[in-house]
Structure 1
Amino acid sequence: MIIALDNIKFMSFDIHDFVGLIILFVLLILSGLISGSEASFFALSPHDIDRLKSKDNKKGAATITLLKQPEQLLGSILIANNFINIGIVLLSSKITSSLIDFSNAPTIGFVFQTIIITFLILLFGEIIPKVLATKQPYAFSLRMTSTFTILNKIFKPLNTVLIKSTSIVNKKVGHHKNNMSVSDLSHALSLTEEHEIQEDKEILEGIVKFGKKSVVEIMCSRLDTIALDCNESFTTVIQTINNSGYSRIPIFEDTFDNIRGVLYIKDLLAHLHKGNTFRWQTLIRPPFYIPENKKIDDLLEEFQKTKIHMAFVIDEYGGVSGIVTLEDVLEEIVGEISDEFDEDEKNYTKVDNDTYIFDAKTLLVDFLRDLHLDEEYLDDVKGDADTIAGLLLEIKGDFPLVKEKIQIRNIDFIVEKMDSRRIIEIRVIFKS
């Protein structure tokens, strides 16, 4: 039977169309579930993730496993959703053609089969499921965990190809974009010099350069570290604490390379009344080691996770080259941090407008900052040096003599004091 309505003809409804509509309905539900999964998995809050970790069953552990591989999960979601949506489009087109004849009204047929069907797919297969899933992401993701554990295994070969191709594009495009953004920001900051926002400018510059620095550039050398041998008496420990004013003291045994841990002064407060026989060594906390080449942004993240404020820096031979604290890291962004107990200390004495006397162990990063020079000013000559003394040794290749002058660009470095193995003071003269 054919019913004519203007230029559109409606065909009779048979069992094949009925089965097709049921399949189409099932596909829409599947599309909605998968779209909702995408929203729920990636909308989980830190609190939800903690609940999943504490959930003592296989489903919670399986959800965490999926979240640890977000690229695999997202790949499975997109592949499954695309396959289902293609099936919906093809099936809906076939059912529409068998029920309605648009041959005499092709424009209406185009609008119906593209715009209306696409709208229905977006509404019931994307928008509504995602809105509902984001309201209850924890429950929704738990229900869909088993499904995506299976889909991850099925789509693993295709996912691998997609992820590798994406990583290649990211390396070629994303890295260049990041470099440009840092460069642009640095240039923008340089334009603010004449404006009255110097403090904000310095903080922003610190953030820009933060990820480039390694701990060896900001650490306190072992020679300048106040530490205690674990065989010292309790009286000596108290005296050292009083004299230093520090809240944490590194503890070693026989040599600084044999670190036993860190003594927190707050742990001693309850034992101050005890005599010299008190075993203060029982209060020592375990040490936290890091390599010299660790970037300070990674170290800050580790400090946050471990709730530790001091780390021991290890060189390539396994020796302890120094210590670095949370305060050292933060000062690279906000500048010098002082409290009411800190004395005003400078690494240098200003003789006149062009002459300074510097402590030879001053870090190059602090030296350049004190003299308002660019951090890249000495990059082509400093080599592996981290201090002013190290810079002179790097350039000369030997120990300089007292009063010996070494010129670097428009700066004269003159050795003022030294002992048999160490440069102590350096005169710095700017030449106009």
Structure 2
Amino acid sequence: MTFAPPALSALVAIVVAIIALMVSAFVSGSETAYFSLSSADMERIEPNRRARVKSLLEKPERLLATISITNILMNVAVVLLSSYALSQIFVFESVAISFVFQAVVIVFFILLFGELLPKLYAESNKARCASMTVGGLSVLSRCLAPLSGIVAKSTYFVNKVVPKKTDDLSLDDLSHALEMTNVAEEKDKSMLEEILKFGGKTVADIMTSRVDMTCVDWNSPFSELVETVKESGYSRLPVYVDNQDNIKGIIYAKDLLPYVGRMDDTFEWQTLLRAPFFVPETRMIDDILEDFQKKKMHMAIVVDEYGGTEGLVTLEDVLEEIVGEISDEYDEDEKLYTRLANDTYVFEGKTLLNDFYRITGLEEQEFGEMNEDAETLAGLLLNIKQDFPKEKEVIEYGRCRFLVMSIDKHRIEKVKVRILADAKIEDKD
């Protein structure tokens, strides 16, 4: 390689190449800024310039075509001019070596100064960059209007013919986005979190278990049926023959109203039954919500793989997974917990774990594998104890101290829960 003093033509080529590289950097940075502007970024732009920026963004295909055409033309100019200048200044005996040298130098400068640096700057200063470049882009847009119009229309045609592939966001992506979002109201954030968890839950996670179901025997007299409806406060009750594994239908309280005054035990109220809707315990709750909407029903009987009744689920149960507890005039007597202090509660053993975690603020992960196959607080305690606990027995796990307050016929009825501070646990250990 020999070095030759640059001639005037080579110097002019270098100057023009630098100008072309600056224009390339200008449009590269503006592309990053314009197509990543948020509403907040837009508000930071001076009003007059903001209107011009919005005007350019109203036709994004044409704007992108203008930027791309300019970038290509400038890069071609940089390559041709730089190649000429380098060949005049650096003389190689081998054409191949000369080509490789020029390619490395030119590509390095285009990538670094024409692409990477301007785009990095624009990414960190979107509003400022958009405001600074709006004048130049407006001029380029008018100058290249005929060519950019053709390119934009071609792009529109291709988008119509070629189907777009959309990437679905995972639950983790959405959860991460929610954590980064500033939600003013805590209840709104809680609702959004529940919506994200909604699709991952099954009917078994929210159903009323078999032992807690209020059902009516097929052979019950009409007066007894009416009394059961009054005492339960439910508007719909399953009706069974022999046992709960043989559900024959659902009786609606409103269907009984025209006959209540008769109080005739010979009245065949079974003719008023509506067909039951059965769902497997593995059905996802977003699917059953769709089922309820299509069938215009509010209750489903949950069955296991053998067809046995596992419990029931209602439309209210599904909606409560999003908006939280829905209370009516009958729920006051059925409150599943009492808060004694900031860190102390008394729960019914049948309290669903989803509700337990929501009320206490505990995370499901804190109990790890103890959550397996457990749907209620009582089930969680059985998993922890690996045996049936005794009344007044204290069970500690993680940050929780459980006191079994009452047991009835091998069912844990009431549990006192105290949330321990981390420091106390560490001291205990």
- TM-score relative to the length of structure 1: 0.57
Q: Distance in 2 between matches of 1:126 and 1:217?
A: 44
Q: In the alignment, residue 304 of structure 1 is paired with which amino acid?
A: Q
2:383 is the alignment partner of 1:394: yes
* Residue matched to 2:224: 236
SS in 2 for 1:269: helix
Aligned residues: percent identity? 47
Report the Cα offset of residue 120 of structure 1: 9.8
Contact 2:364 2:371 in 1 (8 A): no
- The 5 Å alignment of 1:10-409 reads 174=167, 177-188=169-180, 192=183, 195=184, 197-274=185-262, 275-340=264-329, 342-343=331-332, 345-409=334-398
Q: Distance in 1 between matches of 2:342 and 2:366?
A: 20
| 1:119-152 deviations in Å (ceiling 9; x for gaps) | 69989x999xx9xxxxxxxxxxxxxxxxxxxxxx
RMSD value over aligned CA atoms? 3.3
Report the Cα offset of residue 221 of structure 1: 1.2
Q: In the alignment, residue 302 of structure 1 is paired with which amino acid?
A: D
* Residue matched to 2:93: none
For the structure 1 residues 122 and 203, does the alpha-carbon distance in structure 2 shift closer, same or farther, using more than 3 Å as the test?
closer
Report the Cα offset of residue 242 of structure 1: 1.4
| 1:25-78 deviations in Å (ceiling 9; x for gaps) | xxxxxxxxxxxxxxxxxxxxxxxxxxxxxxxxxxxxxxxxxxxxxxxxxxxxxx
| 1:144-193 deviations in Å (ceiling 9; x for gaps) | xxxxxxxxxxxxxxxxxx99xx9xxx8xx946x4244323234235x54x
Report the Cα offset of residue 386 of structure 1: 0.6
Larger of the two Rg values belongs to structure? 2
| 1:233-269 deviations in Å (ceiling 9; x for gaps) | 0010111111112111111111011101100111112
SS in 2 for 1:241: helix
Contact 1:292 1:313 in 2 (8 A): yes
Report the Cα offset of residue 379 of structure 1: 4.1
SS in 1 for 2:332: coil
| 1:220-243 deviations in Å (ceiling 9; x for gaps) | 112111110010000101111111
The count of aligned residue pairs is 276
For the structure 1 residues 117 and 327, does the alpha-carbon distance in structure 2 shift closer, same or farther, using more than 3 Å as the test?
closer
Report the Cα offset of residue 360 of structure 1: 0.9
Q: In the alignment, residue 280 of structure 2 is paired with which amino acid?
A: P
For the structure 1 residues 298 and 284, does the alpha-carbon distance in structure 2 shift closer, same or farther, using more than 3 Å as the test?
same
Q: In the alignment, residue 221 of structure 1 is paired with which amino acid?
A: S
* Residue matched to 2:76: none
Contact 2:346 2:417 in 1 (8 A): yes
Q: Distance in 2 between matches of 1:277 and 1:206?
A: 48
Gaps of 5+ in 1: 1-111, 131-161
Q: Distance in 1 between matches of 2:189 and 2:265?
A: 52
Q: Distance in 2 between matches of 1:244 and 1:118?
A: 67
* Residue matched to 1:80: none
Q: Distance in 1 between matches of 2:209 and 2:193?
A: 25
Q: Distance in 2 between matches of 1:122 and 1:208?
A: 35
* Residue matched to 1:86: none
